[in-house]
Amino acid sequence: MTIYLDHAATAPINDLAIDAVAKAMKNLGNASSVHNHGRAIRKDVEDARHAISELVGSAASEVIFTGSGTEANNLAIKGFYWKAIAGDPRRKVIVTSAFEHHAILDPIEWLVAHEGAEQILIPITKTGFIDLEFLADLLAKRGSEIAVISVMHSNNELGTLQPIAEIVKLAGDIPVHTDAVQSFGKVSFDFAKLGVTAATISAHKVGGPLGVAALVLQRGIDLVPILHGGGQEREIRSGTLNAPAIVGFAAAAIHAVDNCNSNFAKVRELRDYFIAELKKSVPDCVINSASDPALPGIVNVTFPGTENDAMLLLLDSEGISCSAGSACSAGVPRPSHVLVAMGLSEETADASLRISIGVTNTKAEIDQVINILPNVIERARKALEVSKLA
């Protein structure tokens, strides 16, 4: 029996999405073609766009489909930066949090290295939230130089929900983007009510197919594209639309949002049960993730005296899948920048795991993990002791 506790990396695709994708794949046509076949595919795409827009709280024309959340984040960061400096060369500052996903941090680092941008990181409190006072002070001093502010709606390693509406109020006329990939479908998210300029959402986090996501972008804003060759999506994103995946995205999103409250309650109950039993089973463990406001299922925990790479291998040998942080950084031997940003040492970060529970998990699975963990931790500690003696 295998147990999947890595739902923050990707969620199992649900049956509704599978059926929707399978049906759509049988339909022939390119959504950009003007003949009957093409118009039929275009209708499927626009129906899906409309459905997603209603779920996310935006206009249909504000939903721009992309191939991934990473692409959408790159489009937002680079697009807003290029737009800003074209209007005012002084606006070279990009502000983001110190614990953003690498899909935000890496394009900013590229702009710093290649385009002369300046990056300013908002510090993180010890409880896993951004320092709003730092941001307010920064805006008062250097607001006229800022091209864009990007802060994730919820942190992918801690689950903490960030004060996006307050950031928007502080920002004034400065564009605000939020990476809502982890949040959409799991907690309440309303694009219009938040007032953000742009937001990123992705299908595979809500039980949809891989390879499709969206940048939700306010009407009347044109960004410099990062892909050219057709201008299919408001001339901001080119490329033949993946109609079956888009249809599957909509089906999964509808199911996730319709069941958001009940799913939240179930997953939160499992998470709280897991933490309570874990503290009994491994008394010296340290929970790094906050309870509220937070996503329902993410548990970030430190097991002192271990290294997470050994823990992951040992758990995997027992049929248990979890992670040491973002899946996009998997295989990179470095401590979690998220935990380090919170003030944890690199040694502590290296001894930490992210366990992300989803709606498909059961109490019996949690019990099995709790039963297995003490032995795994003991073996990991012995392995670390041996490696230090070598």
Return the active site residues.
Answer: 328
CA distance linking residue 361 with residue 236, whole number of Å: 39
Which residue type occupies 138? L
CA distance linking residue 373 with residue 389, whole number of Å: 24
**Contact (Cβ atoms closer than 8 angstroms) between residue 9 and residue 325:** no
Handedness of CA 383, 384, 389, 390 (dihedral sign): positive
**Three-class SS of 72-112:** HHHHHHHHHHHHHHHHCCCCCEEEEECCCCHHHHHHHHHHH
How many angstroms separate the Cα of 280 from the Cα of each of 284, 285, 306, 361, 370? 9, 10, 18, 21, 9
Q: Which one, of 247, 324, 321, 215, lies nearest residue 19 by Cα?
A: 247
Q: Going by DSSP bridges, is the β-strand pair 63-66/213-217 parallel, antiparallel, or unpaired?
A: antiparallel
Q: Residue length, the chain?
A: 390
CA distance linking residue 152 with residue 105, whole number of Å: 11
How many beta carbons lie within 10 A of that of residue 22, not counting itself? 11
SS3 117: coil
